[in-house]
Structure 1
């Protein structure tokens, strides 16, 4: 079959509710592509989602997002022509090889988070991050696919369609979406956390006999530590992964910070060494410091300036405290002891604080509490009539101690001596 007199369909790759994907050959350019055809019996809602997928994919250009080449209609069916990714999906990788090493997972996580960060910068929220939508090329690069249920920032659509269908997969559904709030960038980060949890342990963080049971757990159940399911996992990876699964969206790091963290994680060095030796591309971010907070863009310069000012302030405060301490000691000793040399004050060495990575992110504002909404029923796309309480956020606040300013003691003015007559 020749689509649009240009794309020869060579064989099916996959089928879904909205249509089918074919491996094809672009006879004009002589390259392999993927052609996605909308089902002939698709309803108007599916047509609109298909068109929106084309519009959203067209605005994204990133090494970790599947590229869109062309779009149109053929014999009354809409089609998309996309980059062909030849290595299968993470779902297939997991089924074929089981759990992945922490180093491999960190390598994949950094790439996926980079792709998500690029989408979020364009105001795009994917809303269906799962292993089947994360494709692998033969050189080890991972790419995000299928923006069929994605939304943009200016859209007011919430997690449900007009018919009550849940857009997304319950296994990887963020808690805020489960209670009817719109998806945001943090929702994609939560879904990514579910995917990474499954790649490390062989199972998603929550499971159940029905979609409704799984959704309830996303709202108010605490996932088991990955190390309980797979002993020996690095504690730093465990801790950071659980931050991605925070119930409160404001307590999760941004996709950009996730990419930074996994790129800088020490275990990544082995993967980067193999990538250089084999010629396979690694992540596109340089390995630098281990991120510990969710930095806002453009804050590096301000932080350096702030660090210098804080250092100068700390030095001045220390010098003042030494001077004040010496003065108070001398005054307390009385005039008879002022002629005795006071011992030299040796400042105690500053206490060393162990750096724990990562610390609580900076984006910790509490999301507004919404009234309980309806939760999807046992069918993956239906709603239950049982109200579910909004997840209770467990904010982790970092107490910042501001040094108190010591006031300089007022010196006593010498008394006036009247001359003796």
Structure 2
């Protein structure tokens, strides 16, 4: 098991957050914060506690109340393929979320060690991922930052999506750049002033400042499945702008190398999901699930 590199100021084992959550160890580090395994001293239960980066959350009472309202919506989503969000609070000026703790590993770690996965495995993961998205979208909850690091795999093969709604909860700093449609023709597209998410997996319209929606989540899910099939994402860039240029220049059907034993239709489904234009993608997670069901 690899050792995490923690930033200065990370919580040490034994420290207590909000006089309730005792830190046991750090289990993840990302762009939005640090995730710890913690013990709820009130309920004597193990949970995941995510300390958000303070600069990403608006520091005023009204914004915090709006964040709580969005979290209440996220908590309504209950599904076996989704990590349940419990609570939101602020401890010593730092906002945090508590979530269900999952014993397992991330899809990102699996891909690092194994590279591409067998098509049968990818198909099973795709079906579970679509069930999770369908349950969330039915409640009006978008993910906004789907990537392998946010997909957890239990030892029995159960996939659980974590960080649902976190990208939507985080403040986007004010920008003079107006969100634009991907196909807007009045001059070259401009990158949004603030990008919350992972450009490698983000839909072009999100990079242009659009809000997370069903089409954007399906694009990100398609990118994850592409990486599972091939061992890499189709785009390489050093900056969000670099990713944007490549994504907008992508032909409607991105070619996926044929893999031995791969179901004939799986690459075509993934290609539809990562179409540059939202209107060219399937209309819903349930629509993708129906396509996957035809593969047997």
Determine if the TM-score, normalized by the shorter chain, exceeds 0.5: yes
Q: What residue is the counterpart of 1:29 in the other structure?
A: 43
Superposed displacement of residue 57, structure 1:
2.8
Map 1:35-74 → 2, pairs under 5 A: 35-39=49-53, 41-42=54-55, 44-45=57-58, 48=63, 51=67, 54-74=71-91
Q: CA deviation digits over 1:62-93, x for unaligned, max 9?
A: 11111022333333333222101121211111
Distance, in Å, in 1 between the alignment partners of 2:286 and 2:82 is: 15
User: In the alignment, is the contact (CA less than 8 A) between 2:48 and 2:99 conserved in 1?
Assistant: yes
Q: What residue is the counterpart of 2:247 in the other structure?
A: 218
Among residues 203, 206, 209, which one is paired with 2:232 in the alignment?
203
Q: Counting strand residues as a fraction of each chain, which structure ranks higher?
A: 2
User: In the alignment, is the contact (CA less than 8 A) between 1:18 and 1:46 conserved in 2?
Assistant: no
Superposed displacement of residue 190, structure 1:
0.8
Cα 1:119–1:43 change in 2 (3 A) is closer
Distance, in Å, in 1 between the alignment partners of 2:74 and 2:245 is: 32
Cα 1:183–1:31 change in 2 (3 A) is closer
Q: What residue is the counterpart of 2:104 in the other structure?
A: 87
Q: How many residues align?
A: 257
Q: Secondary structure in 1 aligned to 2:265? A: helix
User: In the alignment, is the contact (CA less than 8 A) between 1:110 and 1:260 conserved in 2?
Assistant: no
User: In the alignment, is the contact (CA less than 8 A) between 1:23 and 1:84 conserved in 2?
Assistant: yes
User: In the alignment, is the contact (CA less than 8 A) between 1:226 and 1:233 conserved in 2?
Assistant: no
Cα 1:81–1:179 change in 2 (3 A) is closer
Q: Secondary structure in 2 aligned to 1:125? A: coil
Q: What residue is the counterpart of 2:33 in the other structure?
A: 19
Cα 1:21–1:209 change in 2 (3 A) is closer
Structure 1 unaligned spans of 5+ = 152-156, 267-421
Instruction: Report the more deviating stretch, 170-179 or 123-132.
Output: 170-179
Find out whether 1:249 has 2:267 as its counterpart.
no
Instruction: Report the more deviating stretch, 245-254 or 69-78.
Output: 69-78
Structure 2 unaligned spans of 5+ = 1-14, 176-192
Distance, in Å, in 1 between the alignment partners of 2:152 and 2:215 is: 21
Superposed displacement of residue 100, structure 1:
0.8
Distance, in Å, in 2 between the alignment partners of 1:179 and 1:74 is: 34
Distance, in Å, in 1 between the alignment partners of 2:208 and 2:44 is: 48
Cα 1:44–1:186 change in 2 (3 A) is closer
Distance, in Å, in 2 between the alignment partners of 1:13 and 1:46 is: 27
Tell me how large the CA RMSD over aligned residues is. Answer: 2.6
Q: What residue is the counterpart of 2:3 in the other structure?
A: none
- Which is higher, the Rg of structure 1 or of structure 2? 1
Cα 1:174–1:17 change in 2 (3 A) is closer
Superposed displacement of residue 4, structure 1:
3.2
User: In the alignment, is the contact (CA less than 8 A) between 1:173 and 1:218 conserved in 2?
Assistant: no
